[in-house]
Amino acid sequence: MSDEIEEVEEVARLVYDAIFQDVSSVEIGGEEYPIKKTSKSKVRLVEYDGLTYIEQNPHKSSQWGKEAQEGHQIMWVMRGRQYLARIRDGKFLDLRKK
């Protein structure tokens, strides 16, 4: 299982860098993946290998939304509606239950 999270972290870091460098795509495993924007809130995201890598919406009233408003760079790794990991200001955190 640790191999899986290591791979997720590797991909998450690539996507995180691309999103916050404001480029239009990211290269993962030799292939280009577009950085999309959600229709309503315009937050940037990449879908890869069944997971969604999505930046924190700064317009949310949550703690994370407020941190994004303050300039923190926050991105979530999700499978469906489940949060698997977070990168905040370059620090990766595995959120899965041990």
Q: Quick one: tokens of 8?
A: 């997720």
CA distance 94 to 27: 23
The residue-averaged pLDDT of 3-26 equals 93
Q: Which one, of 75, 70, 79, 68, lies nearest residue 91 by Cα? A: 75
Of 5-9, 24-28, 82-86, the one with minimum mean pLDDT is: 5-9
Residue 1 in this model has a pLDDT that exceeds 60: no
Query: Which residue is associated with the tokens 């997971």?
Result: 51
pLDDT tens across 36-74, in order? 999 999 999 999 999 999 999 999 999 999 999 999 999
Q: Quick one: tokens of 74?
A: 């926050």
Q: What percent of the chain has pLDDT over 70?
A: 96
Using an 8 Å Cβ cutoff, are 11 and 53 in contact? yes
